[in-house]
Each structure stands twice: as C-alpha cells, then as structure tokens.
C-alpha cells in the first residue's frame, strides 16, 4: 500500500514538473512565438474593434513587421501602466503602443528604429479665453490633464504653476475635459485630434493651442540585450519603410499631418 502510494506520488510529481516545464518552455521551442503587448486604448493607433479584436495603425504595422521578419506571434492587450514592467520581467517580447524613444527609457529597454514622428498637442476649454499658451495657462494656475508617465506628463512638468491632473488612460483625461473636470489636456497629437473630432462636446467646447508642440519618435520596444531580435525587427521595419508599407498604413488610418513617416535612409 505504502509502495503504491509512493509510486503514485512520484508519477504525479513527474507529471507536474513536466507540465510546468511545458508551459514555460513553449516560447523557446523550435518555432519561436513572439508575445507582443499593446495598449488597446489609444485610437486610432490601437483599439478593440466591434468584433472585439485588436485593430489600428500599430496593430497592422506590428503584424507586418513580425511576419516580414519570419516570426509567429501572439498579441496581448495590456494597459499602459503594465507595459514596461511586463517587458522587463520578460512576460512579453515586444511592445508597440505609441511609445516615444527617450534616452531615460533606453536605460531599461531597447528601441527599434523610429516608425513614426509625432509630438504633443494641447487642448483647452474654449471658456478659458485668457490663455493662448502653456505659459499663460501656468500664470492662471490652470489644471491640465495628461496620461501618467507619458511624454505629455513630462512636458507639463516643465511649466511651474500648472496643476497637473494625471489619468491612467488618455480617454479619461478627454472625458474629464468635456465635463469641465480640467481646463485642458496634453496628449499625443494623433490621438488628441482623433478624440477631439469624435467627441461632440469637445469639438464645440474645446480648442487646440497651436499645433504639435514637440517632436518625438515612436519606436517598437524590446528587452535589453536581445541583440538578434533587435537586428531582425530593425531590418524588417527598414524594409517596410522603404517599400512604402508604413506610408500606406499611415494613409489607411488617416493619420494626416499629425504624424509623419520617417525617411528610410
């Protein structure tokens, strides 16, 4: 009886170890599959369409880049706040989510060559008529919203006097603006323009302060140290920049003058 029990325990434990191993190693098998994280709350770059599938400029782009590089892949929808942590702890292999290439970020992760040039734009309530610049918004101690830990947020930190209101999602900052919960919002220009046109309240009650106020490059993000992956992604992206694929997607998603496809040279 005792022997039988021990055999059973042994068989069970071998099975557990084996199945655990399978789960962990599936990504290292002969046919490597890249896990790609993307934040689906940033229309028209990435969002869930009516069928509940990931869709948008960056979804199309990353599929084209990894297929062209010969990888299998799986897309996972991860919120902005979880993207960098998941990459660093190797839950995902790649992240694409309108992420600006910044020197500080390069200490923790690797970036591909740029796939888009964009920048920040500022939306202000129309009834705040005495401010036509961020300096003036600072003077009147305005409350301006931005998504936390984004370049928009860092941009606002340069203006002493502005009361920064942070949001987990860019869309929430926009809804708050429409409800007069803040005086203005800073965001990536493509997305700010999209939400501005989409939300009737905003179109009527808000205005842009100038146009694009900064120049930033978006890159695909990878773990540091995977040089082979970076080389493959860069080579594939370079080819798609050169053969016009990226520009075609820019046209398909109507990114207009708010974002520019970098030259492939």
- Binding positions for ligand ARG, rule: CB under 6 A: 39, 42, 80, 97-100, 147, 150-151, 170, 188
User: DSSP 3-state assignment of 254?
Assistant: coil
Beta carbon nearer to ligand ARG, 219 or 223: 219
Q: Considering the complex, what minimum distance in angstroms separates the CB of residue 252 from ligand ARG?
A: 19
Q: Considering the complex, what minimum distance in angstroms separates the CB of residue 82 from ligand ARG?
A: 11
| CB proximity list for 230: less than 8 A, separation 6 or greater | 110, 112, 222
For residues 50-68, b (16+ Cβ closer than 10 Å) or e, as one string? Answer: eeeebbbbbbbbbebbbeb
Beta carbon nearer to ligand ARG, 121 or 245: 121
Q: Which helix (H) or strand (E) holds 235?
A: helix 227-242
Q: Considering the complex, what minimum distance in angstroms separates the CB of residue 38 from ligand ARG?
A: 8
Beta carbon nearer to ligand ARG, 83 or 246: 83
Q: Considering the complex, what minimum distance in angstroms separates the CB of residue 258 from ligand ARG?
A: 12
Beta carbon nearer to ligand ARG, 98 or 236: 98
| CB proximity list for 64: less than 8 A, separation 6 or greater | 240, 245, 249
């Amino acid at each position: 009886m005792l022997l039988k029990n021990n055999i059973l325990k042994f068989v069970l434990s071998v099975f557990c170890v084996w199945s655990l191993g399978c789960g962990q190693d599936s990504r290292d098998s002969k046919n490597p599959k890249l896990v790609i994280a993307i934040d689906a709350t940033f229309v028209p770059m990435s969002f869930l369409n009516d069928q509940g599938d990931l869709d948008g400029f960056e979804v199309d782009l990353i599929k084209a880049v990894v297929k062209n590089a010969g990888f299998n892949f799986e897309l996972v929808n991860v919120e902005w706040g979880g993207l960098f942590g998941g990459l660093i702890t190797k839950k995902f292999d790649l992240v694409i989510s309108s992420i600006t290439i910044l020197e500080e970020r390069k200490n923790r992760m690797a970036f591909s060559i740029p796939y888009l040039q964009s920048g920040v734009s500022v939306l202000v309530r129309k009834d705040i008529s005495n401010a036509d610049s961020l300096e003036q918004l600072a003077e009147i101690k305005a409350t301006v919203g931005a998504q936390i830990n984004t370049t928009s947020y860092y941009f606002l930190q340069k203006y002493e006097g502005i009361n920064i209101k942070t949001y987990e999602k860019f869309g929430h900052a926009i809804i708050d603006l429409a409800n007069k919960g803040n005086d203005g919002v800073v965001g990536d220009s493509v997305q700010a323009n999209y939400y501005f046109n989409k939300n009737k309240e905003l179109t009527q009650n808000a205005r842009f302060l100038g146009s694009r106020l900064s120049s930033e490059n978006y890159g695909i993000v990878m773990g540091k140290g995977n040089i082979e992956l970076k080389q493959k992604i860069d080579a594939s992206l370079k080819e798609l920049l050169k053969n016009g694929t990226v520009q075609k997607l820019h046209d398909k998603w109507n990114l207009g003058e708010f974002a520019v496809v970098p030259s492939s040279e």
